[in-house]
A and B are shown apart, each in its own frame.
Chain A
Amino acid sequence: MAYVAIQGGQRAIEEAARLSEYLRTEQGIEGRPVSLDDIKYQLRGLHSRILSEGGLYHPDLAALAIKQSMGDPLEASFALRAYRSTRPRRMETAAHDTSRMRLVRRISAAFKDIPGGQMLGATPDYSLRLLRFDLMDESPEAFQEIAGTWMENLNADDVPDTFPKVLDLLMEEGLLASSDNDGSEEAFDITRQPMIFPVPRSAALQSMARGETGSLLMIAYSNMRGYGDVHPTVGEVRVGYLPVELPHPVTGTPVEIGEVLMTECEVVAMYEGGDDAQAQPRFTVGYGACFGHNEVKAIAMAILDRALQKGMQDGAANPSEDPEFVLLHIDGIDSMGFCTHYKMPHYVTFQSDMDRLRTTQSKKERDL
């Protein structure tokens, strides 16, 4: 691939940047700059996407990335990813499980009655998805009143601090293989090591956790529609704040240094095994998790995790079971970069293509 240096384009490029800034502020005296808090609180869905696809849990900078990119999720994730690449990595945590997550939502499609109960939290699941025209001209007073009213009489006496995992119920019944993993295997880090296939499952989970939501959904959807046979049931979706711990520099004991909002999903899939006389058949499982509140991503990831496990075990029977196909095509920054590079000047390569075509045409004319 060859590019040509552009002479005389500098002024145009500078003016293009100025024009983008003008469009961001085009409302003029009627407008006001959108604040980072506005983005964090009122564009939660978009903000959550950037946190996970940017690969960095930094709520302020994710909001800044959204602001500067004027809401383009791929550009915003790119900016956050670029920022993280400039920062030194100081440490890594011990492995965290989600048993101590401070939940704000928890549901199961597998069981009606789960220990601790099902809590819908904030969800559009049961809404009609009709446009709310009352928001078109929302007054600040009405806006503030909603929050004020909700905050009256907060009471949660019956709500426990933590909730058991739904999958544990199935394990207790012997319907699911119990995990005998001691966690001694080192986790693969795709930001430091190239993915040379086959890669361990930890590489797949990390790739998918920072993958682009639409890409994960598209490949998972192909499996759901029939190019695969995961047939998932959502065992549990939980959304909440995970306390992050590091050892205290003096005492060495774990200390909570902050928390991250995350979404986690476990899907129960088709059972397998039992071919030999000794082993009982058991349900198979897929797992998904990501920063922020993004249930589509977590569920799609869980389905793909299960599909990839099957592909690794039996060989890929469809695209969603092929680790190389899935893991190399879900990164938003990679794919967006490759796609948009086609806009950049390809004058030399295209000139070459034209020359070859003309030569071929001439040859054909001579032959005729």
Chain B
Amino acid sequence: MVPRNLWVHALSAIPENDLKAAADQLKVGYDIRHRALPEEGLGLLKMKDGAFGDHYYIGEFPVASAHVELHDQKGRVFEGGTHVMHDSAAYAADLAVCDAVLANRLPGWETIAELVEAGMQRRGEEHLKRKTMLARTKVNFDLLSTVREKENED
């Protein structure tokens, strides 16, 4: 099972319509209440500089947030929440519902688990592509040494 701190990373790789469809199905049978109003806006990215460790702001990014409670008919309450780099609070609310369902193994959690796995696979493919960029362009200084040694021998 993919750990919870990677669920947003995985689910944000899934087409938004697929996620919305899954979240809409999961909402049935629950009273969804917002612990805090879903928000959208900007986040400020703070960095630590690589020379002296000073903190500074490199810029901003879009962020949407939601924190929900799912109340079932037996009066039980299940919490879910998310921040995501996105413009839409509604999208964050859908992710928060998925988070609550998966974290609490509520009916339908398998669907979300499958989406998480699919998302991780997509992320893995992207990761492999990037690492291949490095692998294929890695400089082999050994070859330079060999050539020089050969030149010296000659």
CB neighbours (8 Å) of A241 from chain B are 130
Interface residue B150 (Cβ < 8 Å from any Cβ of A): no
Given A91-B44, A167-B50: A257 and B85 interface contact (C-beta under 8 Å): yes
- Let me know if B53 and A258 touch, CB within 8 A: no
Select which of A121, A259, A266 is within 8 A of B50 by beta carbon.
A266
Contact with A along B128-154 (1 / 0, CB 8 A): 111111110111010000000000000
Interface centre among A118, A205, A256 (most CB of B within 10 A): A256
A and B contact pairs by CB, cutoff 8 A, 25 listed: A51-B59, A52-B59, A56-B59, A56-B60, A89-B41, A102-B130, A105-B137, A118-B141, A119-B138, A167-B50, A206-B56, A209-B58, A240-B130, A244-B43, A244-B85, A248-B83, A250-B80, A250-B103, A255-B6, A255-B82, A257-B9, A285-B51, A287-B52, A290-B58, A291-B59
Select which of A94, A104, A186 is within 8 A of B134 by beta carbon.
A104
In residues 44-86 of chain B, which contact A (Cβ within 8 Å)? 44-63, 65-67, 79-86
Given A151-B129, A205-B49: A89 and B42 interface contact (C-beta under 8 Å): yes
Interface centre among A165, A203, A209 (most CB of B within 10 A): A209
Interface residue B33 (Cβ < 8 Å from any Cβ of A): no
Q: Which 4 A-B pairs have the closest CB atoms?
A: A258-B85, A249-B81, A156-B131, A181-B53
Interface residue B5 (Cβ < 8 Å from any Cβ of A): yes
Given A102-B130, A185-B55, A254-B5: A89 and B60 interface contact (C-beta under 8 Å): yes
CB neighbours (8 Å) of A156 from chain B are 128, 131-132, 134-135
Interface residue A348 (Cβ < 8 Å from any Cβ of B): no
- Complex-state Cα separation, A41 to B79, whole angstroms: 39
- Let me know if A202 and B55 touch, CB within 8 A: yes
In residues 264-280 of chain A, which contact B (Cβ within 8 Å)? 264, 266
CB neighbours (8 Å) of A159 from chain B are 131-132, 134-135, 138
Select which of B45, B61, B65, B127 is within 8 A of A102 by beta carbon.
B127
CB neighbours (8 Å) of B128 from chain A are 154, 156
Interface centre among B35, B41, B54, B56 (most CB of A within 10 A): B56
Contact with B along A274-313 (1 / 0, CB 8 A): 0000000000011101110000000000000100000000
- Let me know if A206 and B57 touch, CB within 8 A: yes
- Let me know if A56 and B54 touch, CB within 8 A: no
Interface residue A346 (Cβ < 8 Å from any Cβ of B): no
In the complex, how many residue pairs between chain A and chain B have their CB atoms under 8 Å apart?
A: 239
Shortest B101–chain A CB gap in Å is: 13
CB neighbours (8 Å) of A122 from chain B are 133, 137
- Let me know if A289 and B47 touch, CB within 8 A: yes
* Given contact pairs A121-B134, A189-B44, a sample of 4 additional A-B residue pairs in the complex whose CB atoms are under 8 Å apart: A119-B135, A249-B66, A257-B63, A287-B51
- Let me know if A93 and B52 touch, CB within 8 A: no
Shortest A200–chain B CB gap in Å is: 8
Interface residue A364 (Cβ < 8 Å from any Cβ of B): no
Interface residue A55 (Cβ < 8 Å from any Cβ of B): yes
CB neighbours (8 Å) of B81 from chain A are 248-250
Select which of B44, B56, B99 is within 8 A of A89 by beta carbon.
B44
- Let me know if B83 and A246 touch, CB within 8 A: yes
Interface residue A231 (Cβ < 8 Å from any Cβ of B): no
The residue of chain A having its C-beta at the shortest distance from the C-beta of B84 within the complex is A257
- Complex-state Cα separation, A240 to B126, whole angstroms: 13
- Let me know if B5 and A90 touch, CB within 8 A: no
Select which of B49, B58, B84 is within 8 A of A262 by beta carbon.
B58
Interface residue A84 (Cβ < 8 Å from any Cβ of B): yes
Interface residue A106 (Cβ < 8 Å from any Cβ of B): yes
Given A52-B59, A206-B58, A257-B85: A113 and B51 interface contact (C-beta under 8 Å): no
Interface residue B4 (Cβ < 8 Å from any Cβ of A): yes
- Let me know if B137 and A119 touch, CB within 8 A: yes
Given A56-B61, A95-B46: A202 and B137 interface contact (C-beta under 8 Å): no
- Let me know if A249 and B50 touch, CB within 8 A: no
Interface residue B117 (Cβ < 8 Å from any Cβ of A): no
- Complex-state Cα separation, A55 to B45, whole angstroms: 11
- Let me know if A90 and B43 touch, CB within 8 A: yes
- Let me know if A87 and B85 touch, CB within 8 A: no
CB neighbours (8 Å) of A285 from chain B are 51-52
CB neighbours (8 Å) of B56 from chain A are 187-188, 201-203, 205-206, 209
